[in-house]
Structure 1
Amino acid sequence: MTIIALDNVSKSFGALKVADAISLEVREGEALGIIGPNGAGKSTLFNLITGNLAADSGTVHFMGEDVTRASAMQRCLSGIGRSFQIPQPFGKMTVFENLLVAGAFGQGRSERSVEAQCAEILERTGLISRANAIADSLSLLERKRLELARALATDPKLLLLDEIAGGLTEGECRQLVATIKDIHARGTTIIWIEHVLYALNSVVERLLILDFGKVIGIGEPAAIMASPQVREIYLGIEV
Protein backbone atom coordinates (compact mmCIF):
# COMPACT_ATOMS: atom_id res chain seq x y z
CA MET A 1 0.00 0.00 0.00
CA THR A 2 1.26 3.48 -0.88
CA ILE A 3 1.32 5.61 2.27
CA ILE A 4 2.43 8.94 0.70
CA ALA A 5 2.30 10.00 -2.93
CA LEU A 6 3.35 13.31 -4.49
CA ASP A 7 2.36 13.98 -8.08
CA ASN A 8 4.15 16.83 -9.90
CA VAL A 9 4.38 18.97 -6.77
CA SER A 10 5.98 22.37 -7.36
CA LYS A 11 6.71 25.36 -5.16
CA SER A 12 8.32 28.71 -5.97
CA PHE A 13 9.28 31.81 -4.04
CA GLY A 14 9.19 34.47 -6.72
CA ALA A 15 11.62 33.42 -9.43
CA LEU A 16 13.23 30.76 -7.21
CA LYS A 17 11.76 27.29 -7.78
CA VAL A 18 12.41 25.25 -4.64
CA ALA A 19 10.38 22.19 -5.69
CA ASP A 20 10.24 21.37 -9.39
CA ALA A 21 7.50 18.91 -10.41
CA ILE A 22 8.41 16.36 -7.73
CA SER A 23 6.71 12.97 -8.04
CA LEU A 24 7.30 10.35 -5.38
CA GLU A 25 5.64 7.29 -3.85
CA VAL A 26 6.57 5.62 -0.58
CA ARG A 27 5.02 2.33 0.43
CA GLU A 28 3.84 1.47 3.93
CA GLY A 29 6.69 0.09 6.04
CA GLU A 30 9.43 1.43 3.77
CA ALA A 31 12.41 3.55 4.80
CA LEU A 32 13.48 6.13 2.20
CA GLY A 33 16.60 8.29 2.52
CA ILE A 34 16.92 11.74 0.93
CA ILE A 35 20.29 13.27 0.13
CA GLY A 36 21.48 16.33 -1.72
CA PRO A 37 23.67 19.40 -1.30
CA ASN A 38 22.65 22.28 0.94
CA GLY A 39 19.88 24.29 -0.70
CA ALA A 40 18.69 21.34 -2.81
CA GLY A 41 15.13 21.58 -1.46
CA LYS A 42 15.16 18.70 1.01
CA SER A 43 13.54 20.47 3.97
CA THR A 44 11.17 22.22 1.55
CA LEU A 45 10.00 18.78 0.42
CA PHE A 46 9.27 17.87 4.05
CA ASN A 47 7.34 21.10 4.51
CA LEU A 48 5.24 20.28 1.46
CA ILE A 49 4.49 16.82 2.85
CA THR A 50 3.58 18.12 6.32
CA GLY A 51 1.57 21.11 5.12
CA ASN A 52 3.91 23.74 6.57
CA LEU A 53 4.14 24.94 2.96
CA ALA A 54 1.29 24.85 0.44
CA ALA A 55 2.14 23.53 -3.01
CA ASP A 56 1.69 25.90 -5.96
CA SER A 57 0.69 22.94 -8.13
CA GLY A 58 0.45 19.17 -7.99
CA THR A 59 -1.18 16.90 -5.42
CA VAL A 60 -0.26 15.17 -2.16
CA HIS A 61 -2.06 11.98 -1.13
CA PHE A 62 -1.64 10.37 2.30
CA MET A 63 -3.13 6.93 3.02
CA GLY A 64 -5.17 7.29 -0.17
CA GLU A 65 -6.69 10.65 0.80
CA ASP A 66 -6.01 13.94 -0.98
CA VAL A 67 -4.39 16.18 1.65
CA THR A 68 -3.05 18.81 -0.75
CA ARG A 69 -5.10 21.57 0.91
CA ALA A 70 -5.09 20.13 4.43
CA SER A 71 -3.40 22.15 7.16
CA ALA A 72 -0.26 21.04 8.98
CA MET A 73 -2.35 20.25 12.07
CA GLN A 74 -4.80 18.15 10.05
CA ARG A 75 -1.93 16.19 8.52
CA CYS A 76 -0.36 15.64 11.93
CA LEU A 77 -3.64 14.34 13.33
CA SER A 78 -3.98 12.02 10.31
CA GLY A 79 -0.59 10.44 11.04
CA ILE A 80 2.30 12.48 9.62
CA GLY A 81 4.93 13.19 12.28
CA ARG A 82 8.30 14.88 11.94
CA SER A 83 11.45 15.94 13.70
CA PHE A 84 13.25 19.20 12.97
CA GLN A 85 16.89 19.74 12.10
CA ILE A 86 17.44 22.00 15.13
CA PRO A 87 15.73 20.58 18.24
CA GLN A 88 13.52 23.15 19.91
CA PRO A 89 11.96 21.50 22.95
CA PHE A 90 9.99 23.36 25.58
CA GLY A 91 13.18 24.15 27.48
CA LYS A 92 11.69 24.79 30.92
CA MET A 93 9.53 21.66 30.85
CA THR A 94 10.71 18.19 31.78
CA VAL A 95 11.38 15.55 29.14
CA PHE A 96 8.16 13.75 30.08
CA GLU A 97 6.13 16.96 29.94
CA ASN A 98 7.47 17.64 26.45
CA LEU A 99 6.15 14.26 25.34
CA LEU A 100 2.78 14.78 26.99
CA VAL A 101 2.28 18.04 25.09
CA ALA A 102 3.30 16.44 21.79
CA GLY A 103 1.11 13.41 22.36
CA ALA A 104 -1.96 15.36 23.43
CA PHE A 105 -1.89 17.94 20.65
CA GLY A 106 -0.51 15.60 17.97
CA GLN A 107 -3.21 13.00 18.58
CA GLY A 108 -6.06 15.27 19.69
CA ARG A 109 -6.30 13.51 23.06
CA SER A 110 -5.98 14.42 26.74
CA GLU A 111 -2.59 14.37 28.44
CA ARG A 112 -3.79 11.73 30.89
CA SER A 113 -4.80 9.40 28.06
CA VAL A 114 -1.33 9.49 26.47
CA GLU A 115 0.73 9.10 29.67
CA ALA A 116 1.36 5.35 29.30
CA GLN A 117 2.23 5.70 25.62
CA CYS A 118 4.68 8.53 26.34
CA ALA A 119 6.38 6.50 29.08
CA GLU A 120 6.82 3.60 26.64
CA ILE A 121 8.32 5.95 24.04
CA LEU A 122 10.80 7.27 26.61
CA GLU A 123 11.88 3.67 27.22
CA ARG A 124 12.27 2.97 23.49
CA THR A 125 14.26 6.14 22.83
CA GLY A 126 16.64 5.73 25.77
CA LEU A 127 15.30 8.68 27.76
CA ILE A 128 13.45 6.97 30.59
CA SER A 129 16.19 7.82 33.11
CA ARG A 130 15.90 11.49 32.06
CA ALA A 131 12.11 11.69 32.22
CA ASN A 132 12.16 14.32 34.99
CA ALA A 133 15.13 16.28 33.67
CA ILE A 134 14.55 19.81 32.42
CA ALA A 135 14.89 19.83 28.61
CA ASP A 136 17.37 22.73 28.66
CA SER A 137 19.78 20.55 30.67
CA LEU A 138 20.07 17.79 28.05
CA SER A 139 23.16 16.94 26.03
CA LEU A 140 22.99 17.19 22.22
CA LEU A 141 22.40 13.44 21.84
CA GLU A 142 19.64 13.59 24.47
CA ARG A 143 18.05 16.56 22.71
CA LYS A 144 18.11 14.61 19.45
CA ARG A 145 16.51 11.66 21.23
CA LEU A 146 13.87 13.98 22.67
CA GLU A 147 13.16 15.41 19.21
CA LEU A 148 12.65 11.85 17.96
CA ALA A 149 10.52 10.95 20.97
CA ARG A 150 8.26 13.98 20.53
CA ALA A 151 7.67 13.02 16.90
CA LEU A 152 6.80 9.47 17.97
CA ALA A 153 4.41 10.81 20.61
CA THR A 154 2.13 12.06 17.84
CA ASP A 155 1.66 8.36 16.91
CA PRO A 156 2.76 8.76 13.28
CA LYS A 157 2.11 6.33 10.47
CA LEU A 158 4.75 8.26 8.52
CA LEU A 159 7.81 9.60 10.36
CA LEU A 160 9.92 12.33 8.76
CA LEU A 161 13.43 12.78 10.15
CA ASP A 162 15.31 15.96 9.20
CA GLU A 163 19.10 15.56 9.71
CA ILE A 164 18.58 14.07 13.14
CA ALA A 165 22.15 12.70 13.21
CA GLY A 166 23.75 16.06 12.44
CA GLY A 167 26.40 17.25 14.90
CA LEU A 168 26.76 13.92 16.71
CA THR A 169 29.98 12.00 17.16
CA GLU A 170 30.28 8.68 15.33
CA GLY A 171 29.57 6.76 18.52
CA GLU A 172 26.53 8.90 19.36
CA CYS A 173 25.29 8.57 15.79
CA ARG A 174 25.48 4.77 15.96
CA GLN A 175 23.47 4.81 19.19
CA LEU A 176 20.77 6.92 17.56
CA VAL A 177 20.76 4.76 14.41
CA ALA A 178 20.12 1.68 16.55
CA THR A 179 17.03 3.39 17.97
CA ILE A 180 15.79 4.40 14.51
CA LYS A 181 16.34 0.86 13.20
CA ASP A 182 14.18 -0.45 16.04
CA ILE A 183 11.43 2.06 15.24
CA HIS A 184 11.50 1.01 11.58
CA ALA A 185 11.51 -2.69 12.49
CA ARG A 186 8.28 -2.13 14.41
CA GLY A 187 6.61 -1.08 11.15
CA THR A 188 6.86 2.71 11.08
CA THR A 189 7.34 4.17 7.59
CA ILE A 190 10.31 6.56 7.55
CA ILE A 191 11.56 9.28 5.22
CA TRP A 192 14.94 10.50 6.40
CA ILE A 193 16.97 13.52 5.22
CA GLU A 194 20.59 13.11 6.21
CA HIS A 195 24.17 14.02 5.28
CA VAL A 196 25.63 11.18 7.37
CA LEU A 197 25.54 8.52 4.68
CA TYR A 198 26.56 5.51 6.76
CA ALA A 199 23.65 6.28 9.09
CA LEU A 200 21.19 6.36 6.19
CA ASN A 201 22.58 3.22 4.61
CA SER A 202 22.10 1.36 7.89
CA VAL A 203 18.33 1.87 7.71
CA VAL A 204 16.91 2.79 4.30
CA GLU A 205 15.95 0.57 1.37
CA ARG A 206 15.98 3.37 -1.21
CA LEU A 207 17.77 6.68 -1.68
CA LEU A 208 16.43 9.77 -3.41
CA ILE A 209 18.73 12.60 -4.46
CA LEU A 210 17.52 16.17 -4.90
CA ASP A 211 19.32 19.05 -6.59
CA PHE A 212 17.85 22.52 -7.22
CA GLY A 213 14.40 21.21 -6.27
CA LYS A 214 14.44 18.37 -8.80
CA VAL A 215 14.57 14.62 -8.27
CA ILE A 216 17.83 13.53 -9.88
CA GLY A 217 17.53 9.85 -9.06
CA ILE A 218 15.85 7.32 -6.81
CA GLY A 219 16.65 3.69 -6.22
CA GLU A 220 18.70 1.15 -4.29
CA PRO A 221 21.37 2.99 -2.26
CA ALA A 222 24.43 1.35 -3.82
CA ALA A 223 23.17 2.04 -7.34
CA ILE A 224 22.35 5.67 -6.54
CA MET A 225 25.74 6.34 -4.95
CA ALA A 226 27.52 4.70 -7.92
CA SER A 227 25.85 7.07 -10.41
CA PRO A 228 28.40 9.51 -11.92
CA GLN A 229 25.81 12.32 -11.82
CA VAL A 230 25.15 11.72 -8.13
CA ARG A 231 28.85 11.56 -7.31
CA GLU A 232 29.43 14.86 -9.09
CA ILE A 233 26.50 16.61 -7.44
CA TYR A 234 26.84 15.22 -3.94
CA LEU A 235 30.14 13.57 -3.21
CA GLY A 236 32.16 16.12 -5.15
CA ILE A 237 30.72 18.91 -3.03
CA GLU A 238 31.40 17.00 0.17
CA VAL A 239 35.01 16.31 -0.83
Structure 2
Amino acid sequence: MTVLSLDSVSKSFGSLKVTDDVSFDVPEGQALGIIGPNGAGKSTLFNLVTGNILPDAGTIRLNGRDVTREPAMARVRAGIGRSFQIPQPFQKLTVFENLLVAATHGRAARERDMRDPCAEVLERTGLLPKANAEAGRLSLLERKRLELARALATGPRLLLLDEIAGGLTEGECQALVATIRAIHAEGVTIIWIEHVLHALNSVVERLLVLDFGRVIGLGDPAEIMASREVREIYLGIEI
Protein backbone atom coordinates (compact mmCIF):
# COMPACT_ATOMS: atom_id res chain seq x y z
CA MET A 1 0.00 0.00 0.00
CA THR A 2 1.21 3.53 -0.79
CA VAL A 3 1.16 5.82 2.24
CA LEU A 4 2.20 9.05 0.49
CA SER A 5 2.05 9.98 -3.18
CA LEU A 6 3.13 13.24 -4.81
CA ASP A 7 2.20 13.82 -8.45
CA SER A 8 3.81 16.77 -10.31
CA VAL A 9 3.85 19.01 -7.22
CA SER A 10 5.20 22.53 -7.79
CA LYS A 11 5.51 25.64 -5.64
CA SER A 12 6.87 29.11 -6.38
CA PHE A 13 7.47 32.18 -4.26
CA GLY A 14 7.30 35.01 -6.75
CA SER A 15 9.73 34.20 -9.56
CA LEU A 16 11.58 31.58 -7.47
CA LYS A 17 10.43 28.02 -8.13
CA VAL A 18 11.27 26.10 -4.95
CA THR A 19 9.50 22.84 -5.82
CA ASP A 20 9.54 21.90 -9.48
CA ASP A 21 7.28 19.09 -10.76
CA VAL A 22 8.11 16.68 -7.91
CA SER A 23 6.65 13.16 -8.08
CA PHE A 24 7.35 10.14 -5.88
CA ASP A 25 5.58 7.46 -3.83
CA VAL A 26 6.37 6.08 -0.38
CA PRO A 27 5.14 2.52 0.26
CA GLU A 28 3.89 1.53 3.70
CA GLY A 29 6.71 0.54 6.05
CA GLN A 30 9.51 2.09 4.00
CA ALA A 31 12.07 4.66 5.13
CA LEU A 32 12.91 7.26 2.48
CA GLY A 33 15.84 9.64 2.91
CA ILE A 34 15.92 13.09 1.30
CA ILE A 35 19.20 14.91 0.69
CA GLY A 36 20.28 17.98 -1.24
CA PRO A 37 22.33 21.15 -0.86
CA ASN A 38 21.06 24.07 1.19
CA GLY A 39 18.27 25.81 -0.70
CA ALA A 40 17.36 22.68 -2.66
CA GLY A 41 13.73 22.80 -1.45
CA LYS A 42 13.79 20.04 1.16
CA SER A 43 12.00 21.90 3.96
CA THR A 44 9.53 23.40 1.48
CA LEU A 45 8.71 19.86 0.37
CA PHE A 46 7.96 18.88 3.97
CA ASN A 47 5.79 21.98 4.39
CA LEU A 48 3.82 20.98 1.30
CA VAL A 49 3.32 17.45 2.61
CA THR A 50 2.18 18.67 6.03
CA GLY A 51 -0.08 21.43 4.69
CA ASN A 52 1.86 24.35 6.18
CA ILE A 53 1.94 25.70 2.63
CA LEU A 54 -0.19 24.74 -0.38
CA PRO A 55 1.17 23.84 -3.83
CA ASP A 56 0.58 25.85 -6.97
CA ALA A 57 0.12 22.66 -8.98
CA GLY A 58 0.04 18.90 -8.51
CA THR A 59 -1.60 16.45 -6.16
CA ILE A 60 -0.68 15.09 -2.72
CA ARG A 61 -2.35 11.87 -1.55
CA LEU A 62 -2.16 10.31 1.89
CA ASN A 63 -3.29 6.68 2.09
CA GLY A 64 -4.95 7.17 -1.31
CA ARG A 65 -6.91 10.25 -0.23
CA ASP A 66 -6.38 13.63 -1.88
CA VAL A 67 -5.17 16.00 0.86
CA THR A 68 -3.71 18.65 -1.46
CA ARG A 69 -5.93 21.45 -0.12
CA GLU A 70 -6.48 20.18 3.42
CA PRO A 71 -5.10 22.25 6.34
CA ALA A 72 -2.18 21.11 8.47
CA MET A 73 -4.21 19.89 11.47
CA ALA A 74 -6.43 17.77 9.24
CA ARG A 75 -3.30 16.07 7.89
CA VAL A 76 -1.99 15.44 11.40
CA ARG A 77 -5.26 13.73 12.27
CA ALA A 78 -5.09 11.82 8.98
CA GLY A 79 -1.76 10.34 10.06
CA ILE A 80 1.19 12.69 9.45
CA GLY A 81 3.60 13.36 12.33
CA ARG A 82 6.57 15.71 12.02
CA SER A 83 9.65 16.72 13.96
CA PHE A 84 11.28 20.10 13.35
CA GLN A 85 14.93 20.91 12.76
CA ILE A 86 15.08 23.27 15.75
CA PRO A 87 13.27 21.76 18.77
CA GLN A 88 10.72 24.13 20.25
CA PRO A 89 8.95 22.34 23.09
CA PHE A 90 6.69 24.02 25.60
CA GLN A 91 9.62 24.80 27.85
CA LYS A 92 7.72 25.29 31.11
CA LEU A 93 5.78 22.04 30.71
CA THR A 94 7.19 18.66 31.63
CA VAL A 95 8.23 16.16 28.99
CA PHE A 96 5.07 14.13 29.69
CA GLU A 97 2.85 17.22 29.46
CA ASN A 98 4.42 18.10 26.09
CA LEU A 99 3.38 14.69 24.80
CA LEU A 100 -0.13 15.04 26.19
CA VAL A 101 -0.60 18.31 24.30
CA ALA A 102 0.55 16.68 21.06
CA ALA A 103 -1.56 13.58 21.58
CA THR A 104 -4.82 15.25 22.58
CA HIS A 105 -4.73 17.79 19.76
CA GLY A 106 -3.20 15.50 17.15
CA ARG A 107 -5.67 12.69 17.79
CA ALA A 108 -8.64 14.85 18.86
CA ALA A 109 -8.74 12.75 22.03
CA ARG A 110 -9.40 13.27 25.73
CA GLU A 111 -6.35 13.78 27.95
CA ARG A 112 -7.18 10.87 30.25
CA ASP A 113 -7.31 8.52 27.27
CA MET A 114 -3.85 9.58 26.10
CA ARG A 115 -1.89 9.03 29.32
CA ASP A 116 -1.00 5.39 28.66
CA PRO A 117 -0.15 5.94 24.95
CA CYS A 118 2.10 8.87 25.92
CA ALA A 119 3.88 6.79 28.55
CA GLU A 120 4.46 4.13 25.90
CA VAL A 121 5.97 6.70 23.53
CA LEU A 122 8.27 7.96 26.31
CA GLU A 123 9.53 4.42 26.78
CA ARG A 124 10.05 3.88 23.03
CA THR A 125 12.06 7.09 22.71
CA GLY A 126 14.18 6.65 25.83
CA LEU A 127 12.57 9.55 27.69
CA LEU A 128 10.69 7.73 30.43
CA PRO A 129 13.26 8.71 33.13
CA LYS A 130 12.72 12.36 32.09
CA ALA A 131 8.92 12.24 32.11
CA ASN A 132 8.58 14.81 34.91
CA ALA A 133 11.52 17.00 33.89
CA GLU A 134 10.85 20.51 32.64
CA ALA A 135 11.37 20.51 28.86
CA GLY A 136 13.41 23.72 28.96
CA ARG A 137 16.08 21.99 31.06
CA LEU A 138 16.77 19.11 28.68
CA SER A 139 20.06 18.52 26.88
CA LEU A 140 20.16 18.82 23.08
CA LEU A 141 19.92 15.05 22.61
CA GLU A 142 16.96 14.91 25.00
CA ARG A 143 15.24 17.78 23.15
CA LYS A 144 15.76 15.90 19.87
CA ARG A 145 14.22 12.83 21.48
CA LEU A 146 11.31 14.96 22.66
CA GLU A 147 10.75 16.22 19.09
CA LEU A 148 10.60 12.59 17.97
CA ALA A 149 8.32 11.66 20.86
CA ARG A 150 5.88 14.53 20.24
CA ALA A 151 5.57 13.50 16.60
CA LEU A 152 4.93 9.88 17.60
CA ALA A 153 2.38 10.93 20.23
CA THR A 154 0.00 12.00 17.46
CA GLY A 155 -0.18 8.36 16.29
CA PRO A 156 1.23 8.87 12.79
CA ARG A 157 1.21 6.43 9.90
CA LEU A 158 3.85 8.63 8.27
CA LEU A 159 6.68 10.13 10.32
CA LEU A 160 8.62 13.11 8.89
CA LEU A 161 12.04 13.82 10.43
CA ASP A 162 13.72 17.14 9.61
CA GLU A 163 17.49 17.02 10.26
CA ILE A 164 16.92 15.43 13.64
CA ALA A 165 20.59 14.35 13.94
CA GLY A 166 21.99 17.83 13.33
CA GLY A 167 24.23 19.29 16.03
CA LEU A 168 24.74 16.05 17.95
CA THR A 169 28.06 14.46 18.85
CA GLU A 170 28.93 11.17 17.16
CA GLY A 171 27.92 9.18 20.23
CA GLU A 172 24.65 11.08 20.63
CA CYS A 173 23.92 10.62 16.92
CA GLN A 174 24.46 6.86 17.17
CA ALA A 175 22.13 6.66 20.18
CA LEU A 176 19.36 8.58 18.40
CA VAL A 177 19.78 6.57 15.19
CA ALA A 178 19.37 3.37 17.20
CA THR A 179 16.04 4.69 18.50
CA ILE A 180 14.88 5.69 15.00
CA ARG A 181 15.93 2.32 13.60
CA ALA A 182 13.90 0.56 16.30
CA ILE A 183 10.84 2.69 15.54
CA HIS A 184 11.17 1.94 11.83
CA ALA A 185 11.49 -1.78 12.64
CA GLU A 186 8.03 -1.54 14.24
CA GLY A 187 6.66 -0.77 10.76
CA VAL A 188 6.50 3.03 10.93
CA THR A 189 6.84 4.69 7.51
CA ILE A 190 9.50 7.41 7.61
CA ILE A 191 10.67 10.28 5.41
CA TRP A 192 13.91 11.74 6.75
CA ILE A 193 15.72 14.90 5.62
CA GLU A 194 19.30 14.79 6.85
CA HIS A 195 22.80 16.13 6.19
CA VAL A 196 24.45 13.50 8.42
CA LEU A 197 24.66 10.94 5.65
CA HIS A 198 26.03 7.98 7.59
CA ALA A 199 23.13 8.30 10.05
CA LEU A 200 20.59 8.55 7.24
CA ASN A 201 21.98 5.67 5.20
CA SER A 202 21.98 3.35 8.22
CA VAL A 203 18.16 3.52 8.31
CA VAL A 204 16.66 4.32 4.89
CA GLU A 205 15.95 1.88 2.05
CA ARG A 206 15.66 4.57 -0.65
CA LEU A 207 17.26 7.94 -1.19
CA LEU A 208 15.78 10.96 -3.00
CA VAL A 209 18.02 13.86 -4.09
CA LEU A 210 16.71 17.39 -4.63
CA ASP A 211 18.50 20.24 -6.38
CA PHE A 212 16.83 23.59 -7.10
CA GLY A 213 13.47 22.00 -6.29
CA ARG A 214 13.82 19.15 -8.79
CA VAL A 215 14.29 15.45 -8.15
CA ILE A 216 17.64 14.50 -9.68
CA GLY A 217 17.89 11.00 -8.21
CA LEU A 218 15.70 8.39 -6.51
CA GLY A 219 16.64 4.84 -5.68
CA ASP A 220 19.05 2.60 -3.77
CA PRO A 221 21.21 4.75 -1.43
CA ALA A 222 24.52 3.23 -2.53
CA GLU A 223 23.70 3.69 -6.21
CA ILE A 224 22.45 7.24 -5.69
CA MET A 225 25.56 8.31 -3.76
CA ALA A 226 27.78 6.76 -6.44
CA SER A 227 26.13 8.65 -9.30
CA ARG A 228 28.11 11.33 -11.11
CA GLU A 229 25.38 13.98 -10.96
CA VAL A 230 24.80 13.61 -7.22
CA ARG A 231 28.52 13.78 -6.45
CA GLU A 232 28.93 16.91 -8.54
CA ILE A 233 25.84 18.75 -7.31
CA TYR A 234 25.45 17.58 -3.72
CA LEU A 235 29.00 16.82 -2.67
CA GLY A 236 30.61 19.59 -4.71
CA ILE A 237 33.04 17.18 -6.38
CA GLU A 238 33.95 17.92 -9.98
CA ILE A 239 34.02 14.64 -11.90
TM-score range, shorter chain: over 0.9
Q: Judge which range, 133-142 or 227-236, deviates more.
A: 227-236
Per-residue deviation, 1:236: 1.6
> Counterpart of 2:128?
128
Identity rate, percent: 73
Partner of 2:72: 72
CA shift, 1:223, in A, is 0.2
Amino acid aligned to 2:181 = K
Corresponding residue number in structure 1 for 2:53:
53
Structure-2 separation of matches of 1:236 and 1:60: 32
1:183 and 2:178 equivalent?
no
Runs of 4+ in 1 over 2 A off after TM superposition: none
Give the aligned length.
237
Q: Give 1:130 deviation, angstroms.
A: 0.5
Match of 1:203 in 2: 203
Q: Return the alpha-carbon distance in structure 2 between the equivalents of residues 124 and 69 of structure 1.
A: 33
- SS at structure 2 position matched to 1:236: coil
Gaps of 5+ in 1: none
Q: C-alpha deviations, 1:158-191, integer Å up to 9, x for none? A: 0000000000001000000000001000010000
SS of the residue corresponding to residue 234 of structure 2 reads: helix
Give me the TM-score of the superposition, normalised by structure 1.
Answer: 0.98
Alpha-carbon separation, structure 2, partners of 1:142 and 1:38 = 26
Q: CA RMSD in A?
A: 0.6
Deviations 1:91-116 (A, max 9, x none): 00000000000000000101111100
Question: 2: CA distance between counterparts of 1:111 and 1:218?
Answer: 41
Is 1:163 the counterpart of 2:167? The answer is: no
Match of 2:86 in 1: 86
- Output the CA distance in 2 between the equivalents of 1:3 and 1:134: 35
Q: Distance in 2 between matches of 1:178 and 1:236?
A: 30
TM-score in terms of structure 2 length = 0.98
C-alpha separation between the residues in 2 aligned to 1:179 and 1:33?
A: 16
Which amino acid is the alignment partner of residue 58 of structure 1? G
Question: Deviation at 1:234?
Answer: 1.1
Q: 1:137 maps to what in 2?
A: 137
3-state SS of paired residue (1:5): strand
Q: Which residue of 2 aligns with 1:154?
A: 154
* Structure 2 portions without partners, runs of 5+: none
Partner residue of 2:107?
107
Distance apart, 1:150 and its partner CA: 0.1
Distance in 2, matches of 1:110 and 1:216, equals 45
CA distance in 2, matches of 1:67, 1:119: 31
Letter in 2 for 1:229: E
- Secondary structure (helix, strand or coil) at the match of 1:235 reads coil
Q: Distance in 2 between matches of 1:33 and 1:183?
A: 15
Deviations along 1:196-218, one digit per CA (max 9) or x if unpaired, are: 00101110000000000000000
Deviations 1:65-115 (A, max 9, x none): 000111100000000010000000000000000000000000010111110
